[in-house]
Structure 1
């Protein structure tokens, strides 16, 4: 069998969908920096990311692990795809099963190496279980009731991987346990709903499945609109004036407005397709809702980053959305 072309490789790893991945790391880094600010209870919001090179390295690690999961998915589903998706690289004969497995193995090794090289032991402590969940999902859990939970755990761990990128004195203190968790929960909930929905891409689904996904989207949007919580550190000011200074008022108007705009974009991008799937839960509508859910991660990530006080970083993440939509028309993200 000839060596797969670049186009086949892009299809095998769902290359365009990787644009939704670096935002996970940025969400984790932003949430951790914001947590450090809240624990300190005073001063201006920290410059973020504190270590850009580390953040970029962990984002690259995350992309490698994502691509590994996509290649491994096609390896694991090669027999099923002969029936349901014969146009994919393996059943169509454009790539071999051995090549897909080798690619997944190599990308996993690269992802772990990048995590260790750029983030050290803290990053590896998150990257190793992340890689384990990816392999467990593709090889064993995908078609079980635990499948959506496993995928949600993978994206949540991806956010927590980003939380290891920002290391400040405050972040190493009381906020360490909480850093990145709110972002991980939001991204994980969205991923759970999208993964559950994806099971009906070929055959369609009962109306209750897209309805559940729509409910999750509404709940996540409500959290985004509600804005950041008040400080929880015992060291935070307790007087009314101090609490006001350390709480949501510290989130500048540009950041707050940007967060609301991205939250609205998330609800529109994801919710509209899910409403259509509720009305007509056919395979085509479900695929559209799943595709919208994958690309909808970008405005979700941007909203989480903005509400953590980093509107410029949020805008950088959101800038990838038009390109993602364009590339998704050429290479399916599902």
Structure 2
């Protein structure tokens, strides 16, 4: 009898293992953006240790910071490296410049898990000429392929301002340059990197948007869009991107959320409670996907640290999960 119970227990454990293995692990889908526009920030090696000790498995850096790249070697942290907006023009006009960029910032560093290179961040809004994005992407792809690094995908990071349309099924690209970029991504298999901020949507439309919809705390469906029911604004914004990609003839392109977060001070509804609620719920939620795409979402929380040199708006200084002394800005679990 004892042997029978032991056998049944082993079978139960095996079944539990299968069931657990079938559940998307949110921790595998969540990274954090590492910005350096602050005083008194820890060294890059300390930052990498902080990622590892908190179970954060992905990092986005906004320029190819040699100290960060050196510290990341052998860390197994997945990485997005941005091309600075001001560098896009040279990469777009000169394939040799793209080759040199890849040699200096990719090939010269060993032991990195580079997943994506972002050809600019919110180009146009944050500086730079949007006409340079696609040729820079093409030249970077050619340079990576020539170096035997075609597994690294090249994209660009865009704000939700490049889309329009409501409800999510009506999403289109409002920026004319996005159609050709989307179609190019469909040919390379790279995702579109999208910065998704329910916070700003809420602040700009408080009469229409309930804060619980923005914080993932609505008790039920808020927006019914055909067969798709939306209980949170994050999913609605991501699915607006998917509809825009479909309308551009690029429905095969995946969306990676390259930034999302909530400020803890400095503006409307910017409290530590709201920031903690949003970011913790985001971390819990990404494994579920969206109504249009119910597979796990790859997302990067903005940002690792409060950065006192950001601005001009005060709120820009307060998106950090951690303070410069490495203490948590509020409790968060990955």
Higher RCO (C-alpha 8 Å, min separation 6): 1
Q: Which has the higher strand share?
A: 2
Which band: TM-score by shorter chain? Answer: under 0.3
Q: Output the TM-score relative to the length of structure 2.
A: 0.25
Q: Output the TM-score relative to the length of structure 1.
A: 0.25
Q: Which has the higher helix share?
A: 1
